[in-house]
Amino acid sequence: MKPVVTAVALEYRDTFTFAKLDVNTQPQKTREYNIRGTPTYIVFRDGEIAGALAGAMPRDTLVERILEILEIDETE
């Protein structure tokens, strides 16, 4: 997933930002965000959790689901 996330982060850098949490060194945050497996994507809007995605997925699905959570319509 790393190449997919890297490409999406670059392409959508003006729309949203990816941040990485190392679950091995941040167990408190892992518990706080209820991360049970990787990859897990937690989507924040205005500092609050807007939604979460879990599991590997194709690039287009990842982008589509993030944009849905953020309520961004790319056709506008």
pLDDT recorded at residue 25 = 96
The distance of Cα 43 from the centroid of its chain, to the nearest Å, equals 5
pTM for the full predicted model: 0.87
Identify the CA nearest to 27 among candidates 38, 35, 17: 35
Q: Nearest to residue 16, comparing CAs of 46, 37, 40, 39? A: 46
- Is residue 76 pLDDT above 70, yes or no? no
Given this model, what pLDDT does residue 2 score?
86
Report whether CATH 3.30.930.10 matches the domain 2-69: no
Residue 67 to residue 27: CA distance in whole angstroms: 28
